[in-house]
Amino acid sequence: MIAAMMTAANLGARVTGWGFVVFTIGSLCWTAIGFSSGQTNLLASNGFLTLVNLVGIWRWLVRQRAYQDGGKSAEAKSRASAAPTLFTATGVTGMTVEDEKGSPVGHAVEALIECQSGYISYVVVSTSNAVGLDEDLRPVPRDAIRFSCERLVLTIDRQAYDAIVPLPPGEWPEVSPAKPERTSI
């Protein structure tokens, strides 16, 4: 159960990778029990799961961790140099989105990038109730968001954000929606 929570939470390459380590320990134990008790089905199924878990360890603790470490290294170096400050594109997912007053609005779930130009067309922002259920996904145009290394800040007010029509499940637009007009208070 611990391994399942570690992998399902997807809290980064290290946590997910260590979840696979825990899974591997469990599958090795069940493989040993299957072998010692003559239960070939238990032996075969957990032997196979051990192989799957070893692939997970390699994928998350070796390969993906190296990617993550490389991106974090570039971020850190850019902050300490005269070069423009960087953050990883994958880092957009999960970033907190705030309004101009610093109040949380939600979090980014994806950024859609134009293939030819590399320009971010829009960011999908999730807003949910306090329990995390009943999520609304809104496509926020690139020019309605200010990027920073730790968070995204709306350049439109909360009323203009709330006026963006939520996306239907699985149906996202192919182009950036128009930037909503600022509303007057």
162, 137 contact by CB (below 8 A): no
Q: Are residues 15 and 56 in the same domain?
A: yes
Q: Are residues 37 and 97 in the same domain?
A: no
Query: 149: closest CA among 68, 72, 70, 66?
Result: 72
Query: Which of 57, 79, 101 is where one domain is finished?
Result: 79
149 within some domain: yes
182 within some domain: no
120, 143 contact by CB (below 8 A): no
Q: Are residues 49 and 96 in the same domain?
A: no
154, 99 contact by CB (below 8 A): yes
Containing structural domain, residue 109: 89-163
Q: Are residues 15 and 43 in the same domain?
A: yes
Q: Are residues 57 and 100 in the same domain?
A: no
What does the pLDDT look like over 61-102, one tens digit per residue? Answer: 988 888 888 877 887 888 888 877 777 777 788 899 999 899
Q: Could you please report the per-residue DSSP string of the chain?
A: -HHHHHHHHT--HHHHHHHHHHHHHHHHHHHHHHHHHT-HHHHHHHHHHHHHHHHHHIIIIIIIHHHHHHHHHHHHHHHTSSSPP---GGGGTT-EEE-TTS-EEEEEEEEEE-TTT--EEEEEEEE--TTS-S-EEEEEEGGGEEE-SSEEEESS-HHHHHHSPPPPTT---SSPPPPPPPPP-
184 within some domain: no
Q: Are residues 29 and 11 in the same domain?
A: yes
177 within some domain: no
pTM over 0.75: no
Count of domains observed in the chain:
2
**Is it the case that residue 131 has pLDDT exceeding 80?**
no
Give the chain's mean pLDDT. Answer: 87
Q: Are residues 158 and 100 in the same domain?
A: yes
99, 80 contact by CB (below 8 A): no
144 within some domain: yes
Q: Averaged over 95-117, what is the pLDDT?
A: 90
20, 8 contact by CB (below 8 A): no
119, 142 contact by CB (below 8 A): yes
Q: Are residues 133 and 99 in the same domain?
A: yes
Q: Are residues 65 and 95 in the same domain?
A: no
What does the pLDDT look like over 150-162, one tens digit per residue? Answer: 899 999 999 999 9
Q: Are residues 153 and 119 in the same domain?
A: yes
| 69 CB-side CA count, 13 A | 8
| Residue entry with tokens 């005269």 | 82
